[in-house]
Amino acid sequence: MKKNNLLITINQIEDIDKLKKLGVSNYAFPLKEFCVGIPNTFLISEIPKEYNSFLFMNRVLDNEGIDKLKVILNNLPSHIKGIIFDDLGILNIVKDLKIEKILYLNHFNSNVLSIKEYLKYVDSVVVSTDINKSELDFILKEIPNKLTVCVLGYLQAMYSRRLLLDNYCTYYNLKKENGLVITSNNEKFFVYENEYGTVLYHLPCYSAMHLDIPYSKYNFINSAFLNIDDITKFIKGNNPRKTDTGFLDIDLIYKLKGENND
Amino acid sequence: MIELLSPAGDLERLKIALLYGADAVYIGGVNYSLRANAKNFSNEEIKEAVLFAHSINKKVYVAVNIVFHDENLNGLDDYLKTLKEYAVDAVIVSDIVAVTKAIKYGLKVMLSTQASPLNYEAIKFWQSLGVDRFVLGREATREDIIRIKNETNASIECFIHGAMCTSISGKCVLSNYCTKRDSNRGGCAQICRWVFDTENEPFTMMSKDLNMVEYIEDMINIGVNSFKVEGRMRSIYYIATVIMCYRQIIDNITNHTLTLEKKNYYKLVLDRVANRDSIPQFYNKFPGVNESYFQDRMEVSNQDFLGIVLDYDKENKLVILEQRNYFQIGDVVEFIGPNMEPITYNVSTILDLDNEKIEVARHPKMVVKLPLNIDLPKYAMMRLKVFDKNSDL
């Protein structure tokens, strides 16, 4: 996999030098107060000035969040190259900003026409991770060199505004610790919560690092819960931990076959 | 106008919802709606639904709210053109491709809660594309709604009753992992109601249901335009009861006759017809441990729904009733129906179709006759009398 189009979220500032040595040059900083499911987030003032830095925001925002973000964007330092975001309210307020805009509308953008619509407003769109490989290949071929593809990281299986872990621990009088592993139907998830909501991540970690992904603009790594040594191994082409390919090799059932649904 | 909006899983439910007081219904076609495995409406049934609704000055909205994969786009244009031809009143969508195509074909567009808009800038974005109405994310608080209304003057639709997603709508693919069914294409298997194993106590995340009786007047005052009931898979009895209650609540508010006693009565009836606890959720406070279920599904079912009126024999003054649950001589029941107050009735005589007296109506869907001097309309229902509205008033 090419290194120069990797776009990676940063856990710790110290990791950047190691990533730079590997040929990675695009870094995304999860913005404090605007992320869910991510342990390490940053204030704008903590983001180093010498790199290609993107802001990463994956929260669904309420009005208060939008108001706060407007203040931040009005004073955006020049070293911020771009912004990666989920909420379409953000799209509406960054439309005219002269920075690179990447829409990461999680679980949406599963077809060519929708992506083309959003590309009227942003520079790149993250393709849904809920599609299979042939769907991904088709989309990339139809819209070459514009799209961002997730290639590594734990995938969100669910994002709730509720504090599910807090409720659970309160009910059972347990000490609250993020990372609770839950299992059902042979599927495993872990629970991570902050004041803005709860995320259930699927286990094991998703990886498409071994795949040939032509035509993408960026290949995106969400490094949350991965350490720099493992990330380094992944980038070098090794696989240091158990992974799966998400839904790339699965044909999800759209409709059950039945008398009303044939 | 304040709109009461009901779900309808099929034509029978649609007719009942509209007759019992809904101003509009939302339905799904065979394809493209988020209840992929429900019966849903064929194109011909959609046509019939619209004709019926329009004949009584009511509206039909069609959900086209899946997240489209490329393979699902085949046929979408033709489908939208057909909906336009049938004069459906709006489509409910979440994917931008469906928004732009629907607008291209001249359809009125409502943004589905699946898109979870929770701030005024998101609403402004969709408004710029031509979206007419917004079903806010179910996490919207009272203050969120007021601010969105003030900043955008948008037509706002809010859920007022029924089941809640634990997740922010559209942000859950638990079904994809656990059942390989695509939740954002109608395959949600309600995994958030499952019990998960941990190394400690079992993990659950089930939300209690939504019930906004206490806040309808306030919601009207802050400018909510449409009051939406959840549940396209629900029974005719559930729909009739819930819609009738909210119809009366809204009408009582409008004509300043809603008393505390009436409100309490409606709450009792709604609690009884649902089989789970229901609360206001995010509107008035952040839902915490007491707003969730733990350990297992705590559902209590009942057999209150005793029968549906098929016809009224005026000559012999007999109600022709299709049985839905066991009842017998001596039971105290009540009839409910469109535009009528509940009628208390003591079952003293039950006749079969040969006019022979029987003691018990025990077989599901058996047709019986009951003597009554009041001409009951088709689709009136008989239920066990549990609460006395009049004595509570």
The pLDDT of residue B44: 97
A11-68 pLDDT, tens digit per residue, is 999 999 999 999 999 999 999 999 999 999 999 999 999 998 999 999 999 999 999 9
B296 pLDDT higher than 70: no
Q: Which CATH architecture has domain A6-154+205-244?
A: Alpha-Beta Barrel (3.20)
Query: What pLDDT sits at residue B299?
Result: 63
Min Cα distance A221 → chain B (Å) is 20
Report pLDDT digits (tens) over A87-136: 999 999 998 899 999 999 999 999 999 999 999 999 999 999 999 999 99
Across the range B157-167, mean pLDDT stands at 95
What is the DSSP secondary structure assignment for residue B234, as one 8-state letter?
A: S
Interface of B with A in 13-72 (CB under 8 A): 30, 36-40, 67-72
Here the tokens at position A17 are 């030098």
Q: What is the pLDDT of residue A257?
A: 52
pLDDT band at A258 (very low <50, low <70, confident <90, very high): very low
How many contacts, defined by CB atoms under 8 Å, are there between A and B?
221
Q: Where are the domains of chain A?
A: 6-154+205-244
Cβ neighbours of A156 in B, within 8 Å: 171, 173
Give CA–CA dist B93/B86, Å, rounded.
18
Q: Which residue has the higher pLDDT, A3 or B106?
A: B106
Cβ-defined contact of B171 to A156 (cutoff 8 Å): yes
Tokens representing A113?
A: 């026409």
- Mutate one of B41, B116, B139, B167 to test the A interface: name it (highest A CB count within 10 A): B167
Closest CA to B392 of B270, B302, B259, B274: B259
Bridge partners of A237, per DSSP, are: none
Task: Determine the Cα–Cα distance for residues B44 and B137; give it in Å rounded to an integer.
Answer: 32
Query: Which runs of E-coded beta strand occur in A22-109?
Result: 26-30, 52-57, 80-85, 100-103
d(CA B156, CA B153): 9
pLDDT (mean) for B273-291: 90
Which domains, ranges and CATH numbers included, belong to chain B? 3-293 (3.20.20.70), 305-392 (2.40.30.10)
Global confidence as pTM: 0.95
CA distance B292 to A82: 39
Model ipTM value: 0.95
Cα gap B101→B80, rounded to integer Å: 8
pLDDT at B52 over 80: yes
The mean pLDDT of B195-206, rounded to a whole number, is: 94
Segment B177-191, tens digit of pLDDT:
999 999 999 889 999
